[in-house]
Homo-oligomer: A and B are copies of this chain.
Amino acid sequence: MTAPTDAMNPDETLASWRAEEAAVRARLRTAPGVASAAQVAGRSGLQLFQALLAGEIPPPPMAVTLDFTLLRIEPGFAVFQGRPRLTHCNPMGTVHGGWFATLLDSAMGCAVHSTLPAGKAYTTLELKLNLVRALTEAVPLVRAEGRLVHGGRQVATAEGRLVGPDRKLYAHASATCLVFDQAS
C-alpha cells in the first residue's frame, strides 16, 4: 500500500523501512507516557499524532512494552512498524495473536482518530482479526497499515493489514469505533 516500496525488492524495502523508523525514532521521546489533558486540548487527532512524532508528546506505554512505533500518519491512514521478537511469542514459538492485534488495533484506531477534529474522541467497540500466516523472529520487521473505511458522525470503521518487507500478508483486520465529544 505504501507506494515507494512497490518497485523495491524485499531487501531494499527492509532497508527503507529501517531508515524510516530510525528517522522517526530520532525525534520520538524515549520515556513512554500518557498524553495529558493539556496536551490533548485543542488538538485534532492528526495534530496529536504529529505532536507525538515531533517528540512533544511521549510514546504510549504499550508501544514501548511491545516494541513498535507509529511511523506515519495521514488523515484516515496510519502506519505502525514493529519487530517480532521472542518476547512476543506464544508457547509454540510463534508470535502471539495478541501482538498482531495490538499493532492492528493501534493502526486502525489511529486511522480513525486522525480524522477527528479537536474536541472529539473515540473508543474501539470491536475488532476482528484474520491471522493468515504464522510470524516468527525470522521476519525482521512488519508494518500494520490502518485505513478509514467509513467515517460517520457517531461511528467510524477501519481496516488494517499486517505485512512484511516482501509484502507478504500476515493478518488483516477490521474495527468499529464510537466517536464522541471529549469530556472537557
Contact = CB atoms under 8 A, between A and B. Distances in A.
A119 B62 CA distance: 36
A160 to B, nearest CB: 11
Interface size class of A (residues with CB under 8 A): 35 or more
Give the secondary structure class of A's interface. Answer: mixed
Contacts of A91: 34-35, 48, 52, 57, 60
A141 to B, nearest CB: 18
A61 B34 contact: no
Nearest to A161: B149
Nearest to A150: B132
Contacts of A174: 128, 130, 172, 174
B129 A128 contact: yes
Interface in A74-95: 86-93
A131 interface: yes
